[in-house]
Amino acid sequence: MPAVLVKLLSELSMETFEFLNILQVHGFPKVMGVLTHLDKFKDAKKLKKTKQRLKHRFWTEIYDGAKLFYLSGLIHGKYPKREIHNLARFISVMKFHPLSWRASHPYILVDRFEDVTPPERVQLNNKCDRNITLYGYLRGCNLKKGTKVCIVKLSIFPFPLIYGLIRIELFS
């Protein structure tokens, strides 16, 4: 589970939100934030307003209700035992927010493919249309009949045959 540890001096930096966007692209249901150096704020009102503003910004970037922990400050080079205990307890019982898009859309992680084009056809014309078989893992929901697959930098293909776990034959 990635934890975004932020040294809170006044604002969250742009790098923090760039990092969150990178995590978002890869689908991050398991992210929590930890704000540190809260002892640097001398004014309690300013600290409270900053916490509120950053919490809402964090919720905007991740999802409403994403957990944000506050570590007040170092005492003799260590964070207070109670705060670390609460953080560890939360991590151990944390329920993760499911990503609705990933759960409702099928996608395939292909780990290998085979060219099943008859060798005679390839010998006659090296640039002939090829038949390939993809092997991999299906994630998200089940595939529906007539689903098309997009192979990056190639095209969109119909899904004619699916066998067993995931073995897909694409014919051009």
Domain boundaries along the sequence of the chain: 3-97, 102-171
Q: Beta strands 3-7 and 32-36: pairing type?
A: parallel
> What is this structure's pTM?
0.49
Could you give the CA distance from residue 58 to residue 47 in angstroms, rounded to a whole number? 16
Q: Provide CB contacts within 8 A for 55, sequence distance 6+.
A: 68
pLDDT higher than 70, residue 21: yes
The more confident residue out of 160 and 172 is 160
Could you give the CA distance from residue 113 to residue 154 in angstroms, rounded to a whole number? 15
- Residue 124 has what pLDDT? 92
